[in-house]
Amino acid sequence: MCGIVGYIGYSKADNVIISSLKRLEYRGYDSWGVAISEGGRLNVYKQVGAIGEVESYELGDSTIGIGHTRWATHGKPSEVNAHPHLDCNKRIAIVHNGIIENFLPLKERLIKEGHRFVSETDTEVIAHLIEKNYKGDLEKAVVAALPELKGSYAIVAISSKERKLVACRYKSPLILGVGDGEYFIASDVPAVLEYTNRVVYLEDGDVVTITDSGYEIKNNGVEVSRKVELVSWSIEDAEKGGYEHFMLKEIHETPRVIEDTLLGYVSETIDLDVSFAAGTSEIIFVACGTSYHAALVGKYVIEEMSGIPVRVEYASEFNYHPAPLSRSLVVGITQSGETADTLEALRKAKRAGARVLAITNVLGSSVTRIADYVIYTRAGPEIGVAATKTFIAQLVVIYLMAAKLSMLTRSEVEKLVLELKLLPERVRRILDKEDKIREIGEFLADYENMMYIGRGLGYPVALEGALKMKEISYIHAEGYPAGELKHGPFALLGKETPVVACVIRDNTYDITLNNIKEVKARDSPVIAIADEKDEEVEKYVDFVVRTPEVDRIFTPVTYSVALQLLAYYTAKKRGCEIDKPRHLAKSVTVE
């Protein structure tokens, strides 16, 4: 997803901007560009592909500029479509994240008025609209252009004539970094962490004008003050810390992430406040991708423990279902807090009068402004595009929610808390034995198709395992309820299609073993994920990934860590770009 950077201060702007853009690479991009304002003109550099390793770029000595990493939506990745985009007279340059939905009629009108367009992007209309309104004051021109735009945007504008940056946001993330005598504007905090840990989270409708002497934020034309937050992440948090890939580092952070998330909400007992759920008739989870799989685990666990009916919807499909009732609790799970589909689903829920809770990993993210209540996972920044530690943190929050919503007795809750507190050690034991998982991952690297199966709690685990495998190794992997295979997918089985079976020792156990036998009878190699006390399963499968024994409801945690490692080592053996898989973005801010 696109990344934005702006800088004004005393350092060479091109170097600051490029190093900040590199910190946003995790969002995914296909082209990039920088514009600096120097000597009454704009110097622009754009390129397709990665920024690369060059440490210093020579656009000029200017100390003000903007930059962008583009993830193509309107128009293919190309130099001309890369941002920054300029007006006809090359006096104004802008970078943009989001989508301008009405760009076509705007473009047609502007062309009739004499504007010349060069790109296929929706973004270019913004530069021309600002140009049209520019009478020597960039802020006024931006403010005059905004009412014409329909859609979502985070924009930073610069002009050749004034030493200032003007930035604004609506439904796309944007933060202001406040340094000593220098200011940064960016899509996300890692971009500025090298320079400052003082950050303002801008809100929808904010327009910020930044000069050397400070910044002023207006919303609806009225000056507003926004809190400067101190970000506790260190720059090291956002770097690899000796691991070959962010993904592996982040999987290894899981024990600490569980501890940190528990620390926030558990003492002797569970302190999480769930009063937001009082009197709720149903819980509806809305989420995408991995977060959707966390929600599915939530359905099993919350229904089982509390008896409250739970619905789980893909956020992108939520619009096409009946609106929630006013007594519903709608829970958006989104690690980034910026996923456009999830935000839109939650807005719909609010319009219907439902209570809205967000579970997110990012302080101040857009979802926190929409939701009535927020629960934070405490996973720290996740840079690898594939969600790993944040998924586990989501599960931990879901367990806590389920326990608090349940009818459990005090001693049952204490037992559960004890089990939760043991989880970090259980996960450490999986990480200590990752060599075995690596061997199996390397075995899988030669295949092109796979199936993942599970029953009950094992089903969302299978879905998530398959998603991890396909997104980073590019092996076609499908997750199925184990009982569904015989209703069609059996036709795909055979020795060229390995099957990963998530085997949980609960009421699904015997029947899952039967399903494994059916698969083996069709010659597929079978890899079972099972706990170390399971002495039966190895008789029927080719490999077993052993995980420490935990209470059955926590198997999604241990099994998922094992499946994340399995996908990682398969992808590594295949030589894939693990942290930045092709075509994917970390933060999907378009619907």
Report, as residue numbers or ranges, the catalytic residues: 2, 586
**What is the phi/psi pair of residue 497, to 5°?**
-130, 90
The residue (of 140 and 369) whose beta carbon lies closer to ligand F6R is: 369
Q: Going edge to edge, which strands form the sheet with 175-178?
A: 41-48, 31-38, 64-70, 3-8, 183-186, 175-178, 198-201, 229-230
Minimum Å gap between C-beta 315 and ligand F6R is 8
Distance CA 289, CA 74 (A): 23
The two tokens of residue 448 are: 């092109």
Helix or strand holding residue 329 (H, E): strand 328-334
The residue (of 34 and 469) whose beta carbon lies closer to ligand F6R is: 469
Minimum Å gap between C-beta 421 and ligand F6R is 26
The residue (of 345 and 493) whose beta carbon lies closer to ligand F6R is: 345
The residue (of 290 and 570) whose beta carbon lies closer to ligand F6R is: 290
Which residue's beta carbon is nearest to the bound ligand F6R?
A: 289
DSSP state of 277: G
The residue (of 43 and 366) whose beta carbon lies closer to ligand F6R is: 366
Minimum Å gap between C-beta 293 and ligand F6R is 8
Binding site for ligand F6R (CB under 6 A): 288-291, 334-336, 339, 342, 386-387, 467, 471, 588
Cβ 370 vs Cβ 341: under 8 Å: no
List 200's β-bridge partners, or say none: 176
Q: What type of residue sits at position 173?
A: P
For helices 254-265 and 389-405, the axis angle rounded to 10 degrees is 30
Minimum Å gap between C-beta 318 and ligand F6R is 13
Q: Going edge to edge, which strands form the sheet with 476-481?
A: 476-481, 449-454, 499-502, 526-531, 543-547
| DSSP notation for 463-489 | HHHHHHHHHHH--EEEEEEGGGGGGTG
Distance of CA 457 to the CA centre of its chain: 24
The residue (of 110 and 502) whose beta carbon lies closer to ligand F6R is: 502
Minimum Å gap between C-beta 25 and ligand F6R is 16
Minimum Å gap between C-beta 387 and ligand F6R is 3
200, burial (CB in 10 Å: exposed 0-12, middle 13-18, buried 19+): buried
